Amino acid sequence: MLTEFFPGIDPIRYEGPGSDNHLSFKYYDEDYIVAGKTMKEHFRFAMAYWHSLCNVGDDPFGKGTRKFPWDVPGDPMRSAEDRLEAAFEFMMKMGIPFYCFHDRDLAPEGASVRESEDNLKYMVERAARREEETGIKLLWGTANLFSHPRYMNGAATNPDFSVVCHAGAQVKAAIDATIALGGSNYVFWGGREGYSFLLNTNMKKELDHMGRFLQMARDYGRQAGFTGTFLIEPKPMEPTLHQYDFDAAAVIGFLHKYGLEKDFKLNIEANHATLANHSFAHELRTAADAGLLGSIDANHGETLNGWDTDNFPTNLYEAIEAMIVLLEAGGLGNGGFNFDAKVRRSSTDLEDLFIAHIAGMDTFARALLIADKLITKDRITDFRDNRYLSFHEPAGQDFEAGKLTLENLKDLAIEKGEPELQSGKQELIESIINNAI
Ligand code: XLS
Ligand code: CA
Ligand code: CA
């Protein structure tokens, strides 16, 4: 290693809950087996390039609070090269096996489509070498179709066809990069795919364009040899007032309408779930029930202000609910847990980035242990399943099989008489969870 970007920080090890070393794992023990898989296999944790290496802590009210040694003023390519070294040093020290990037995180945009492509190719070659040396892999790649001014009215849904063409050029290059780096998934997050004013927007046309664009991306990717999963990441708003990929339910409907459901799944972000007035677990369950749960952006939103604050996930209760859904769904397959999270603007120490990732990994590791116990020992899911026992009886089964008519229901209602009330046992379930923590 030429330069050490995180000096004084040794590789982070598992030391157990008793340790008072804040630079150690208390619960995440990568080789520990829970529910038939190691923790490493359950989570497939990933570092988000943009938040960890590009975000200096600026906000609409002030400039950044962090100065990164890999940012070389006036030399974006040199910065990109150093940033890549810092990224791999960080992941190696953290024991994080995957990463995710936008094309523009990895390499700067050039003055033309060609130059942008060349910049990206150059950085992809270097990243491929670092992957080979370290064994770290790409969980997903994506194209940043929201920062450049040309995308102010959307990318694939832009009313100007020439912008759609630029989006196409960028997605083609980002898919090529993802393939070259052996990426398991390719993500579409439509931050500006939506509208702010209905009276100047042809919503039907824009949605049709988005469907067509994603079909083209899929066809290109498959023909170029991409065997991974395409993912759509729902979010209801921010930056756009009305985003088309509002929530899991909206995206599932969209995928089916445009014939994309065989190649696409969903990337569920916790903060986007709460922005849509859902819980993280609700969105995971909705995707899993549709057979379309692909991957997770692990973070936490401040519900008090209703923004996309992308906090590191340290809410154990929220993580336990998520892990129950995930264990029942059988895991994420080739997806993973990407920390789409940033340290707070006032967390300015070099070690804060490590502590934040440790906190996130430990939160989910602990949640996994608790969720597994809740399912296998406390049999917490029996409370749910038992509420539906009447559908195991012959008439209930006939109803589910579509063998009954509305008239049959009336006759059965008369035969059965007034139903006995059944408790939902919410407080009991909640206290069982608290007792397991
Ligand atoms: C922004 C999104 C974005 C996607 C990738 O809110 O979370 O970071 O994950 O483009
Ligand atoms: Ca995200
Ligand atoms: Ca977010």
DSSP per residue, 300-338: B--TTTTS---B----HHHHHHHHHHHHHHT--TT--EE
Q: Which residues line ligand 1 (CB under 6 A)?
A: 102, 142, 187, 189, 191, 233, 235, 269, 297, 308, 340
Asked whether 293 and 268 are in contact (CB, 8 A), the reply is yes
The pLDDT value given to residue 87 = 98
Name which residue sits closest to atom 5 of ligand 1, judged by CA.
189
> Which residues of the chain are in CATH 3.20.20.150 domains?
36-381
Ligand nearest to the CA of 340: 2
Per-residue pLDDT of the chain (437 residues; tens, 9 = 90+): 578 999 999 999 999 999 999 999 999 999 999 999 999 999 999 999 999 999 999 999 999 999 999 999 999 999 999 999 999 999 999 999 999 999 999 999 999 999 999 999 999 999 999 999 999 999 999 999 999 999 999 999 999 999 999 999 999 999 999 999 999 999 999 999 999 999 999 999 999 999 999 999 999 999 999 999 999 999 999 999 999 999 999 999 999 999 999 999 999 999 999 999 999 999 999 999 999 999 999 999 998 998 999 999 999 999 999 999 999 999 999 999 999 999 999 999 999 999 999 999 999 999 999 999 999 999 999 999 999 999 999 999 999 999 999 999 999 999 999 999 999 999 999 999 999 99
The pLDDT value given to residue 60 = 93
The pLDDT value given to residue 19 = 98
Please give the number of the atom of ligand 1 that sits closest to the Cα of 51: 8
Neighbour tally for 401: CB within 10 Å:
8
φ, ψ for residue 186, nearest 5 deg: -130, 125
**Cα(87)–Cα(91) distance, integer angstroms:** 6
Asked whether 350 and 6 are in contact (CB, 8 A), the reply is yes
Q: 37-38 and 33-34 as β-strands: parallel, antiparallel, unpaired?
A: antiparallel
- Is 102 among the catalytic positions? yes
The pLDDT value given to residue 359 = 98
* CA 238 to ligand 1 centroid distance, Å: 10
The pLDDT value given to residue 1 = 53
Please give the number of the atom of ligand 1 that sits closest to the Cα of 146: 10
Q: Which two structure tokens, joined as six digits, stand for 241?
A: 């007032």
Which residues in 339-363 are b (16+ Cβ under 10 Å) and which e?
bbbbbebebeeeeebbbbbbebbbb
Query: Which CATH fold would you assign to the domain 36-381?
Result: TIM Barrel (3.20.20)
**Cα(7)–Cα(75) distance, integer angstroms:** 23
- Pick the closest to residue 162 from 113, 227, 98 (CA basis): 113
The pLDDT value given to residue 303 = 87
Asked whether 268 and 248 are in contact (CB, 8 A), the reply is yes
Please give the number of the atom of ligand 1 that sits closest to the Cα of 50: 8
- Is 75 among the catalytic positions? no
Name which residue sits closest to atom 8 of ligand 1, judged by CA.
340
77-83: long-range contacts (C-beta < 8 A, 24 or more apart)?
77/107, 77/108, 77/119, 77/122, 79/108, 80/106, 80/107, 80/108, 80/119, 80/123, 81/123, 81/126, 82/3, 82/5, 83/49, 83/53, 83/54
The active-site residue, picked from 103, 105, 247, 308, is 105
Q: Scan for tokens 């991957």, then name that residue.
A: 295
